[in-house]
Structure 1
Amino acid sequence: MAVVGSVHGGYLSSKLQTLPPVKILNTQKRSIHHRRPPTPPIFISTNLSHVNPIHLRDLYSSCNHSCHRFPNIFPDGRVEPVDVAKLRIALSHSSVVVSVFARPSLPENLNTGGDWYRKMIPLTPFSGELVGFGRAVSDNGLTASIYDVVVIPSLQGRGIGRMILQRIVRLLTNKGIYDIAALCSDEEMEFFKACGFGDDILGSTTMMYSRSGNDDDDMVKSAGRKLLMVPPLKLQRKINH
């Protein structure tokens, strides 16, 4: 009969102490070590009115996530917080928003005496803390693009990001939209691949507007989050001469 538990060696008989270690216990320890932490109670909402732009800005900041392709970066490596006014406009024009709420961390003086305070108040978007978010922009007929899928660092690796992405895809496909793209960085590619995204079967690639296709036009160069208009090459030659 196998016994699961830990016993001090001094309490075992001499015969048992001489037995070699059981390898299966090491396997169990490894599986326990790599086991995903449990997901805390969460509330998932697709209601835009449940999203507070200020709280969303703070969530982006805690994840060091910027909605800009060329963000201003502080000396410590943190990105500049997104402008709340622009974020509010972006939310109002998003076709799908998915927000995730969890119970907020309580002050130490409220943790004494058990978890009764948390149990008394039901988890809702108004009593919970915004810990995850994602959105999609779509023409609501043919195509859609997914942006800004984030989860607070303390709860990453627990499947919340996958839930957000699955909910976004489900809402889009329920509308008959299957041409769904995700603009992501190299660090985010593995996450999207694990959620069913991959290279375009048509072989297309993302191209960004830069106005540099014709030397007669002004070219756009990035300088932090700002875009600078650079004179065309022909005009530069005239200026130099």
Structure 2
Amino acid sequence: MSDEQPPVLTEDRGPIRIITLNRPQRRNAIDLPLRYLLAERLEEAMSDPGVRVIVLTGAGAGFCAGGDISTMRRMEADEAKPRAEAAQRVVRAIWLGGKPVIAAVEGAAFGAGVSLALACDRVVAAADSVFSTAFTGVGLAGDMGIFASLPARVGMAKARELMLLPARLTGEEASAIGLADVVVEPGTALERALADAERMCLAPPLAVEALKDMFRRWPRDPVSVLDSEVDNQVKLFATDDFAEGVAAFHDKRIPVFRGK
């Protein structure tokens, strides 16, 4: 019998369900087993009448370092598409579910980790947390709803800047531009997220569900972005540039992209 912990943990504190990414040895990087299980746990929480609010966090020192590059390699569309769709299933669960989701961010939120945090209804960030889009570093454009959530938070011009000129922003800097909703002392993000969740639990559930639905529809339904992200990611997984980005990551060098 294995003592190995699952990649996603859940804990109920009254009507609040805490969902924890649990790969601390990989800084909670998202591999296929994690993305499948995370989607399942979010869907379960959304359908559980005893759950009113969901808090999403990461085990150990970081929130989520993005996609697990150690599991990535160049691949054709028939293999890349299910992988990309599995990531989008996580975001669909958050956006289409009727319960608020709060991200409690400590440490790194890179690439898909940023996308995951921004997909949530509220982002609580530790002052020393670090946010970076980071997708282009491995030859990818981005997914998990970032082309809807990022412009909605920071505006289109700033979103372009953050995607084309990836920078590492502290929790303080992220809060200043609207990337995070509130910044707290290091080590207290989960505590603050739970306090906010307790207040949200006092709201009428049906009104909250309607509220989420209305925000999702303004100014356009962001779920429509998810299919476009899949199409682009699938194409990019088959490129020389993606293979170079992954190789450079493993070699700890700057990638040389040639547009192939």
Which interval holds the TM-score relative to the shorter structure? under 0.3
With CA pairs under 8 Å and 6+ residues apart, which has the higher RCO, 1 or 2?
Answer: 2
Larger radius of gyration: 1
The TM-score, its normalising length taken from structure 1, stands at 0.26
